[in-house]
Structure 1
Amino acid sequence: MNFQTRKWVKPEDLNPNGTLFGGRLLEWIDEEAALYTIVQLENRHIVTKFMSEINFINAPVQGDIIELGIEAIGFGNSSITLRCEVRNKLTHQEILSIEKIVMVNLGADGKPAPHGKTKVEYVKDRLR
């Protein structure tokens, strides 16, 4: 799994318990999943369709640096299925896991559209 994005847990990210607000973390994950999907499918018009059970394992606190990891685990006709892990950058302690996030490719009409992809592609390989 590639951990591409790092976030610094700041005071405005905290809940009343002094730990990272779960909604903020889900916002970061949704954005990371969208960016990953846009790059993979080469289309800016995508939506999040589904997230499986969200397993909060440990709670980050102010000052922690966390990293978000996303990997593709499947390709449908108009969708891509991802897996996500979040961990503490310094300790590698697991913070959260989501086994399945389904992102859907949209056409110009805003409806699901085939994307023609069957495997992970890397930008460096497309440029050759």
Structure 2
Amino acid sequence: MQFFSRKLIKPEDLNAHGTLFGGSVLSWVDEESAIFVTCQLDKGNIVTKYMSEIDFVSSAGLGDIIEIGMETVKFGTSSITVRCEVRHKFTKETIIKIDKIVFVHLVDGKPTPHGVNEAQNE
């Protein structure tokens, strides 16, 4: 798994209990995974099709630094599946894990073969 992105937890990222808001971290994961997949396919026009169960393992607080890791799971004809882990930068404690995030390559709104069958080192 490669960890490309880091985030500093700010007041606007917290929930009513003073811990990292799940919606914030999921938004970051969706954006980071879309960037990762775009780099893997070397083309845009992708959409998030599916996210498997999201396992909230621990949380983060104000001032913590987290990092988002991605790994390619498999390539389909028009899809790519990745997995994600978000963890504390310094303790390496897992915050969330998502085993499958599936993206589909579209042309004119229709699933279209992307022509890629192995992961890029990006």
TM range (shorter): over 0.9
Cα drift, residue 122 of structure 1: 3.0
Classify the secondary structure of the residue corresponding to 2:19. Answer: coil
Aligned to 1:112: 111
Instruction: List, as ranges, runs of 4+ consecutive aligned residues in structure 1 with deviation greater than 4 Å.
Output: none
Decide which structure has greater strand share: 2
The equivalent of 1:126 in structure 2 is none
Question: What is the Cα-based RMSD across aligned positions, in Å?
Answer: 0.8
* Deviation readout 1:72-105 (Å, 9 max, x if unpaired): 0100000000000010001111111000000111
Q: CA deviation at 1:121?
A: 1.8
Rounded to whole Å, the distance in 1 between the matches of 2:112 and 2:9 is: 37
Deviations 1:16-60 (A, max 9, x none): 000011000000000011001111111111000000000000010
In 2: Cα distance, 1:27 partner to 1:118 partner: 27
What is aligned with 2:82? Answer: 82
Q: Percent identity?
A: 55
Gap regions ≥5 residues in structure 2: none
Q: Secondary structure at the match of 1:106?
A: strand
Residue number in structure 2 paired with 1:37: 37
How many equivalent pairs are there? 122
5+ residue gaps, structure 1: 124-128
Shift of 1:5: 0.2
Moved more, 4-13 or 113-122: 113-122
Counterpart for residue 122 of structure 1: 121
- The equivalent of 2:4 in structure 1 is 4
TM-score by length of 2: 0.97
Taking the aligned partners of 2:40 and 2:96, their CA distance within structure 1 comes to: 23
TM-score normalised by structure 1 residue count: 0.93
Superposed, 1:95-110 pairs within 5 Å as 95-107=95-107, 109-110=108-109
